[in-house]
Structure 1
């Protein structure tokens, strides 16, 4: 006999849960927004790396990904369009993990380790984004609550 799996609605009503959720959103969102700003600070170098990795339209890719990181990070931090922000970040982080941090194809051990670190960073960021996407349609404490859902 298979046990029935049920889910409970998200409840952020335990002591300090709302504040901790806000702190987690601020840390996660602000970090991603800062990473996006870095895309604009050295577009030429990042575009060169994107070209080296075989990305089409490397300069546009750097600018577009920087914009996605800034807007997505701010969306998570503030609770503005959280479903769009979390979904966009999850897709971007998964795609960039595979396309930009292909450690399995690198021969140099030090470079392989750097790429693996970038790959894993993107994976855990995608995991956090997916978790936030799962709760994106619910009311977030201390959020501006601007969104589609």
Structure 2
């Protein structure tokens, strides 16, 4: 017989839990927001890479992904629209891992390693975004507390 699994409500009463959660949100969200802003700093090169990878409307894709990363990352960092922000980041990171970092289709060993590293970064980022999405409907400490849900 399997033991019954129960869950406890999310609690931030342990010492420094709220502060650590805030720090984690800032590190995760601000990094992604910065990456989004970088889409605009090197738009031509990123458009060329998106075109090389076969994305439709490569320039629009780079601009749209830059906006999504910047706003989603900022939303997570400040605790605004957490469900929307974390959910959009999770979807984007999974989709871009598969479409942009298809290491399995690369022959050159150095390029393959670089793509695999980027793929894995997107996968663990998606995992973090999913974890934040799971708690997106709860009250986050030190958050703006505005959202749709």
Q: Same fold (TM over 0.5)?
A: yes
List alignment gaps of at least 5 residues for structure 2: none
List alignment gaps of at least 5 residues for structure 1: none
Indicate the residue corresponding to 1:26 in structure 2. 26
Indicate the residue corresponding to 2:5 in structure 1. 5
Residue 3 of structure 1, CA deviation = 1.6
TM-score by length of 1: 0.99
Q: Are positions 1:122 and 2:126 aligned together? A: no
Matches within 5 A, 1:10-89: 10-89=10-89
Residue 13 of structure 1, CA deviation = 1.0
Q: CA offsets, 1:22-78, max 9 Å, x none?
A: 000000000000000000001111000000000000000000000000000000000
Q: Distance in 2 between matches of 1:22 and 1:2?
A: 36
Q: Distance in 2 between matches of 1:61 and 1:44?
A: 12
Residue 5 of structure 1, CA deviation = 1.2
Q: CA offsets, 1:86-109, max 9 Å, x none?
A: 000000000000000000000000
Q: How many residues align?
A: 149
Q: Distance in 2 between matches of 1:40 and 1:111?
A: 24
Q: Distance in 2 between matches of 1:23 and 1:4?
A: 33
